[in-house]
Structure formats: structure tokens, C-alpha cells
Amino acid sequence: AQRVTQPEKLLSVFKGAPVELKCNYSYSGSPELFWYVQYSRQRLQLLLRHISRESIKGFTADLNKGETSFHLKKPFAQEEDSAMYYCALRTAGGTSYGKLTFGQGTILTVHP
Amino acid sequence: DTAVSQTPKYLVTQMGNDKSIKCEQNLGHDTMYWYKQDSKKFLKIMFSYNNKELIINETVPNRFSPKSPDKAHLNLHINSLELGDSAVYFCASSTSVTRSSYNEQFFGPGTRLTVL
């Protein structure tokens, strides 16, 4: 069975500092990885996905199959980045039916 | 023009009661989901329907019964509520998962259920 682990429940940084939210996964097949974000008083929304290899709001994430990781990084954190971040894995193909397995979430706080 | 909506937003009830949470999406999506977020913010899928057909049914007590009257609606009915059912329940929708293509899930605002 697939599993997603986010080892840090809380992460605090100062504005302008680099930030890295860790995500490790366990899955025997070929995974699809995502980062979802929930800002205060807003609904959960997609931030980025590994297959698009895009940078959203300055965030990037690279899938490392060797280390089974999908860490989220931003070189200069902003106060508006403060939110709950979830790493999620979707099993690709077969009868997975788009099931997303979420990590435990990391609350990022960016201090001024 | 809300994409995925849920009612009610808050639900406070006594143990043993039966309650329903409604979800509607106007995105034209074929697939809908219910997730449970517990007190530790852990988010876990409960059910998924594709074109009104149940396709994901995780290990959830039989007291939970999803119902999809049409593609745009997926309701969650909970019988004999227990203290441990207190959580935030999120509905989500996406394009059809059977097309084997990436399908972003769009989430509702959540329903905070408190069982006393």
C-alpha cells in the first residue's frame, strides 16, 4: 500500500529565508506526486504537480525516485506562504481511480 | 459561482443522532470524493464516485453511507454518530478518473462536525 510521510508537522522560518518542506513516499509502482496548500480560511487547493515540472508562487518540487522524495522548496519565503501544506501521491494507471493518499501535512509559518 | 459547495458549514449534534452533509459541484466533473480530516489535520479519503458509481470505498464504518443522486451531487449520511466522528469532512471533485489522465481535485470548504 502507498504511504506519504511529511516528517515535520510545524516549520517556522523568517521572511526571505529558504524553506524546504519534506515529503517521502512509499509506493511500488510509478507514482504521481502533488503538493496541495490550504491558506487560512481558504479551501484546499493544488499548488503543483511533479509531471508539469513547473514553479508556482516561487515553489518548486523535484521527484527523486532514488530517495523516494518530493520535497517542496522556495529560495525566499514570504509571509503569505504561511499555510498548511500537504504532499499527496496518486497511483498511476490500473484501477487506482485517482485515489490520493495524503501526508500528515506541514504547517508553515513565515515570520516577518 | 462557487465550484464545490458543502452544506452545512458547521454541524453540532448529539451522539447517536443521524445526520447528512451535502456536496454539490458545478464544474461538470464526473468524479466526486469525500475526505475526513481529523483533529491532527490528517486527511484521508473515504469514498469516491465516478458517474454515480462507487469506485473507492476505504475502510469506513457502515454507519457512513454516501449517496450520489446525480453526477453533480455526492451526499454523506452518517448514522448513530459517535464522538470519534468529530472531524472536518471535505468534498472534492475532478474530471473522470477513468480517462487515465491527470485530474486535479477541487475541494469544497469543508464541514466541521462536532459530536457531543
- Nearest-CB residue to A97 (from B43, B55, B107): B55
3-state secondary structure of B22: strand
Contact between A47 and A39 under an 8 Å Cβ cutoff? The reply is no
pLDDT score of A38 more than 70: yes
pLDDT score of A94 more than 70: no
Q: Please report residues of B whose CB lies closer than 8 A to that of A96.
A: 97
Q: How does residue A11 score in pLDDT terms, banded at 50, 70 and 90?
A: very high
Give the C-alpha separation, B96 to B44, whole Å.
Answer: 20
A54 phi/psi in degrees, rounded to 5: -105, 165
* pLDDT tens per residue, range B95-113: 876 655 567 899 999 999 9
pLDDT (0 to 100) of residue A41: 86
pLDDT average, residue stretch B80-90: 96
pLDDT average, residue stretch A33-37: 94
Chain A nearest-CA residue for B46: A99
Contact between A86 and A35 under an 8 Å Cβ cutoff? The reply is yes
pLDDT average, residue stretch B49-66: 86
pLDDT (0 to 100) of residue B66: 92
Contact check, Cβ <8 Å, A97/B50: yes
3-state secondary structure of B104: coil
Q: How does residue A85 score in pLDDT terms, banded at 50, 70 and 90?
A: very high
Q: Please report residues of A whose CB lies closer than 8 A to that of B41.
A: 84, 104-105, 107
pLDDT (0 to 100) of residue A95: 56
Give the C-alpha separation, A73 to A18, whole Å.
Answer: 8
Give the C-alpha separation, B45 to B89, whole Å.
Answer: 10
Counting one residue from A and one from B, how many pairs have CB atoms under 8 Å apart?
A: 51
The gap from C-alpha A72 to its chain's centroid, in whole angstroms, comes to 5
pLDDT (0 to 100) of residue A30: 80
The grid cell for A31 is 507514482
- Nearest-CB residue to A46 (from B44, B48, B104): B104
Q: Please report residues of A whose CB lies closer than 8 A to that of B97.
A: 96-98
* pLDDT tens per residue, range B31-45: 899 999 998 888 999
pLDDT average, residue stretch B66-91: 94
- Type of residue numbered B80: S
- Nearest-CB residue to B56 (from A51, A99, A104): A99
pLDDT (0 to 100) of residue A87: 97
pLDDT (0 to 100) of residue A55: 85
Give the length of chain A. Answer: 112
Contact between A18 and A58 under an 8 Å Cβ cutoff? The reply is no
Closest Cα partner for B90 from A100, A55, A87? A100
Give the C-alpha separation, B112 to A98, whole Å.
Answer: 25
Contact between B93 and B25 under an 8 Å Cβ cutoff? The reply is yes
